[in-house]
């Protein structure tokens, strides 16, 4: 009997290649791998060619998918290579880490066991230390946080642990497992595992004992290098258990120098346990990168993949591929560039005493030669090659909830392939395929699966939509959670809408489990809450109507409209009604464009607008600056929405709205910002002629009003755009006269307000206003002088010509 404990670095290409060779040499009859034992039944799927890494084992608690954890695997992960070897050789595979049922039994925030050395990279990446005031406990906590790779690198004279690991292991082409075991034993000397780490290693030993008891003669254990001293016999640090050793060692058997089984059983007794389910899910190289927040121990997965896949001349092949990426972006890169870049990378490696040029050297060569010192193309290489664009794939035989399976079918039917990198998608809603794609993406957003993010359309017309698509591994968690609402995407989205209309919450944040598994990130399950405290706001309901129409959920729409009618009847706050109206108008319009029936919307819109018009007088009374600015946004939004409504009928919506604005425009208690904006709207719509608007402005800027109010009036008046001041010299002259007549003290007070107002204009508008103001200041022309200097006879000829062009000549 022999037990070989092979310590690896998770996601290390050198470890993966050496492990595969070592397993082929040892020819074990069982392989034990660090990971959740509940996944033993899923190993057989590794034989399916459709299971393509990067993939991850996903563990979750049924009914509570917010409690979940991932175990990622890339093609260069030693564990994945161990699985591939075992299934290819017909050798049983067992996972030997602490079961996910224990790790997920208690939410991470409620557990002191948040991690342990080796969680992420098998190299001593310790989790939080136990709390306490005992100095000995604090010292032990500091010991837990030891980074063994960092310790070994410092002992070798390196200041960069990653560089040392590449030089000592990755670039060697083989991994000296016995040397690594001895090095880890030295680093762990005097280390006392904490409760959680001790239980993990106790369960690993229990799994090894069971394999030996089951009659396996050659046992291979693949685990993070940190755990090797806890699994290998101290008298046999290589973990051979008697294989090829002295006869006495072979007779003694494995584990004689390790803690007894009784002690391990005592550690594992009484652990909390939850029912869990596991499956394979696609993963991405972006999620393997430490900068993405997942901390899987790989900062450059694309580079590691290259090292694993191209052991022969990796530097030359990498730089050739980098040249191809740059050429695809129309950047000039020649073969001579590649040759010089290879020479530079190799020269840097020699100067730095490295056996092979690493990522640092090839990146410097790319920057200096291929990119000629420009960092922007280097970022392109970083994104496409260093991190990588790969998205894994799982076969149809993988266990899935019905909602996941239906989405896969819809993705195939609609030809929407999930991709890791952002992809722009423009849809023409007049085409049936694009319309169905839009509906799918909107339905998924209602379920909290933000695969597509809507962007501002680059085309004209309401029949166009633009999206940015990017698939994220955590979407599988969202789909599992949304599976409680239905078995298909439309039915689940409709059920979710009905729940939101009743005031349901949008989802729960997720908490992950400790261990090597990567915790699932906390996100909102359905794109935000529709309400709080069991209620739902009017604006939320109107937005839900719009989303319901976009997603084509006619079965759910009546529930939302009923809730909206009830809520609108009880809401007496006019600002709430004004906030709700624009979304309702857009929903009515979308219903027309998409061919979706929107029965009942017109009556609700009409009722909302009527209540807004009636209550507008009270809403504009007694406002401070912040409230006035907020109401200004509502006034603009309602005005834009009313312009989309049908103007037919005896009392068109636009006429009612403008009538309400006229009724309040002459009040003396209006805030300057609101009064100025209303006057501008009435002027633009023809409800107020230029002379009366000039009179209103002159009155607002008289000396009887404080300068701050006059400045607010100007801000409200010109907030619709500055071109009016360019084309109407009289209005500009009024503002100029008021501004030049201010005292120095008053001018200092209103200057910031005016600067904010005019600073919002486009640069050409500001320039044109400045030119007109300069001519006013020099006295070259004024509005009155210009009127007096007009030659009526010469002007009449021009007027006749313009009328003829317009077809209005008498």
Q: What is the 3-state secondary structure (H, E, C) of 597-661?
A: CCCCHHHHHHHHHHHHHHHHHHHCCCCCHHHHHHHHHHHHHHHHHHCCCCCCCCCCHHHHHHHHH
Below-70 pLDDT ranges, the chain: 65-66, 107-147, 170-175, 233-253, 255-256, 289-297, 457-462, 504-535, 590-600, 647-650, 720-722, 724, 728, 776-790, 809-810
Which of 327, 357, 387 finishes a domain?
387
Predicted local distance difference test score (pLDDT) of residue 289: 66
Written as six digits, the tokens of 395 are 């076969």
Edge-to-edge strands, sheet with 30-33: 2-8, 218-224, 30-33, 93-95
Which of 338, 361, 387 finishes a domain?
387
Predicted local distance difference test score (pLDDT) of residue 675: 85
pLDDT in tens, 280-299: 999 888 887 654 433 445 77
Same domain, 458 and 591: no
> Taking the model in full, what pTM does it have?
0.68
Residue 361 lies in a domain: yes
Sign of CA dihedral 372, 373, 376, 381: positive
Same domain, 310 and 169: no
Same domain, 435 and 352: no
Residue 73 lies in a domain: yes
Residue 571 lies in a domain: no
pLDDT in tens, 98-145: 999 998 887 544 444 433 333 333 444 333 333 333 433 344 344 444
What total number of domains does the chain contain? Answer: 4
Q: Report residue 284: phi and psi, to 5°.
A: -130, 155
Same domain, 209 and 330: no
Residue 42 lies in a domain: yes
Predicted local distance difference test score (pLDDT) of residue 496: 92
Same domain, 103 and 239: yes
Which of 493, 519, 545 finishes a domain?
519
Predicted local distance difference test score (pLDDT) of residue 134: 41
Same domain, 69 and 148: yes
Residue 718 lies in a domain: yes
Distance of CA 582 to the CA centre of its chain: 28
What domain range is 600 assigned to? Answer: 587-783
Residue 729 lies in a domain: yes
**Residue 296 burial (10 A CB sphere; 0-12, 13-18, 19+):** buried
DSSP conformation letters of 429-461: TTSHHHHHHHHHHHHHHHTT--SEEEE--SSSS
The CA distance from 456 to 444, in Å, is 19
Predicted local distance difference test score (pLDDT) of residue 460: 55
Same domain, 252 and 370: no
Residue 90 lies in a domain: yes
Residue with tokens 């030891």, as numbered in its chain: 146
Predicted local distance difference test score (pLDDT) of residue 534: 42
pLDDT in tens, 684-706: 888 888 778 778 877 877 777 78
Predicted local distance difference test score (pLDDT) of residue 191: 82
pLDDT in tens, 47-82: 999 999 999 999 988 877 668 888 999 999 999 999
Predicted local distance difference test score (pLDDT) of residue 738: 73
Rg (CA), the chain: 36
Predicted local distance difference test score (pLDDT) of residue 415: 93
Same domain, 693 and 772: yes
Same domain, 241 and 355: no
Predicted local distance difference test score (pLDDT) of residue 170: 66
- Classify residue 93 as left (phi > 0), alpha (psi -120 to 50) or beta: beta
> What is the tally of helices (H) and strands (E) in the chain?
36, 11
Residue 504 lies in a domain: yes
Sign of CA dihedral 96, 97, 99, 102: positive
Residue with tokens 């690993």, as numbered in its chain: 204
Predicted local distance difference test score (pLDDT) of residue 789: 54
Predicted local distance difference test score (pLDDT) of residue 488: 94
Q: Which helix (H) or strand (E) holds 711?
A: helix 707-718
Same domain, 426 and 479: yes
Same domain, 250 and 366: no
* Count of Cβ atoms closer than 10 Å to residue 353 Cβ: 8
Same domain, 603 and 506: no
Check: CB of residue 31 under 8 Å from CB of residue 211: no
């Amino acid at each position: 009997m022999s037990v070989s404990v092979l310590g690896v670095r998770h996601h290390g290409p050198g470890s993966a290649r050496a492990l595969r060779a070592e397993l082929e040499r040892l020819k074990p009859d069982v392989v034990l791998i660090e990971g959740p034992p509940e996944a033993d039944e899923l190993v057989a799927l590794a034989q399916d060619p459709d299971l393509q890494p990067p993939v991850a084992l996903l563990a979750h608690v049924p009914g509570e998918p917010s409690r979940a954890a991932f175990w990622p695997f890339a093609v260069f992960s030693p564990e994945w290579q161990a699985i591939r070897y075992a299934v290819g050789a017909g050798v049983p595979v067992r996972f030997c880490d602490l079961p996910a049922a224990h790790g997920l039994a208690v939410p991470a925030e409620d557990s002191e066991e948040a991690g342990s050395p080796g969680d992420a990279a098998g190299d001593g990446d310790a989790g939080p230390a136990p709390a306490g005031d005992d100095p000995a406990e604090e010292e032990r906590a500091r010991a837990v946080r030891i980074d063994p790779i960092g310790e070994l690198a410092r002992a070798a004279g390196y200041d960069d642990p990653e560089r040392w690991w590449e030089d000592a292991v990755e670039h060697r082409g083989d991994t000296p497992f016995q040397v690594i075991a001895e090095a880890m034993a030295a680093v762990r000397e005097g280390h006392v595992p904490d409760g959680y780490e001790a239980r993990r290693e106790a369960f690993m030993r229990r799994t090894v004992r069971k394999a030996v008891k089951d009659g396996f003669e050659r046992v291979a254990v693949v685990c993070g290098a940190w755990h090797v001293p806890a699994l290998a016999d101290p008298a046999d640090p290589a973990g051979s258990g008697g294989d090829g050793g002295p006869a006495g060692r072979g007779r003694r058997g494995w584990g004689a120098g390790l803690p007894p089984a009784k002690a391990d059983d005592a550690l594992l007794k009484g652990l909390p346990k939850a029912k869990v389910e596991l499956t394979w899910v696609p993963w991405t190289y972006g999620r393997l990168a430490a900068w993405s927040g997942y901390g899987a121990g790989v900062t450059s997965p694309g580079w590691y993949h290259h090292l694993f896949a191209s052991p022969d001349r990796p530097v030359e092949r990498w730089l050739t591929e980098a040249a191809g990426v740059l050429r695809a972006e129309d950047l000039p890169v020649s073969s001579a560039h590649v040759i010089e870049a290879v020479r530079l990378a190799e020269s840097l490696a020699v100067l730095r005493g490295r056996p092979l040029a690493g990522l640092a050297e090839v990146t410097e060569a790319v920057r200096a030669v291929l990119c000629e010192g420009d960092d922007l193309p280097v970022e392109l290489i970083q994104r496409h090659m260093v991190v990588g664009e790969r998205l894994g794939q799982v076969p149809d035989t993988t266990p899935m909830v019905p909602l996941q399976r239906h989405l896969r079918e819809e993705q195939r039917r609609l030809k929407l392939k999930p991709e890791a990198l952002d992809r722009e998608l423009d849809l023409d809603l007049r085409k049936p395929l694009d319309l169905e794609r839009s509906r799918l993406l909107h339905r998924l957003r209602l379920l909290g699966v933000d695969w597509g993010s809507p962007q501002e359309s680059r085309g004209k017309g309401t029949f166009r939509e633009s999206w940015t698509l990017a698939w994220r591994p955590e979407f599988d968690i969202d789909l599992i959670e949304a599976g409680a609402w239905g078995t298909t995407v439309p039915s689940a989205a409709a059920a979710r809408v009905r729940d939101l209309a009743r005031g349901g919450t949008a989802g729960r944040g997720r908490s992950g489990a400790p261990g090597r598994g990567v915790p699932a990130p906390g996100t909102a399950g359905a794109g935000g809450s529709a309400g709080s405290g069991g209620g739902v706001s009017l604006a939320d309901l109107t937005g839900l109507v719009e989303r319901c129409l976009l997603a084509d959920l006619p079965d759910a729409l009546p529930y939302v409209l009923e809730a909206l009618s009830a809520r609108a009847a009880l809401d007496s706050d006019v600002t709430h009604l004004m906030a709700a109206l624009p979304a309702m108008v857009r929903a009515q319009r979308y219903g027309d464009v998409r061919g979706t029936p929107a029965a009942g919307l017109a009556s609700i819109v009409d009722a909302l607008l009527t209540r807004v018009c009636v209550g507008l007088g009270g809403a504009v009374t007694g406002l401070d600056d912040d409230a006035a600015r907020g109401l200004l946004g509502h006034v603009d939004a309602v005005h834009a929405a009313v312009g989309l409504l049908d103007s037919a009928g005896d009392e068109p919506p636009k006429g009612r709205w403008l009538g309400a604005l006229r009724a309040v425009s002459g009040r003396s208690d209006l805030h300057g910002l609101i009064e100025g904006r209303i006057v501008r709207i009435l002027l633009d719509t023809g409800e107020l002629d230029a002379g009366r608007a000039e009179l209103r402005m002159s009155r607002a800027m008289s000396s009887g009003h404080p300068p701050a109010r006059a400045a607010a009036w100007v801000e409200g008046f010109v907030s619709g755009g500055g071109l009016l001041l360019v084309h109407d010299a009289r209005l500009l002259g009024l503002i100029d006269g008021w501004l030049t007549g201010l005292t120095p003290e008053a001018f200092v007070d209103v200057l910031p307000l005016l600067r904010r107002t005019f600073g919002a204009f486009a640069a050409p508008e500001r320039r044109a206003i400045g030119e007109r103001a300069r001519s006013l200041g020099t006295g070259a022309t004024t509005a009155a002088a210009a009127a007096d200097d007009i030659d009526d006879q010469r002007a009449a000829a021009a007027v006749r010509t313009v009328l003829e062009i317009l077809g209005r000549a008498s």
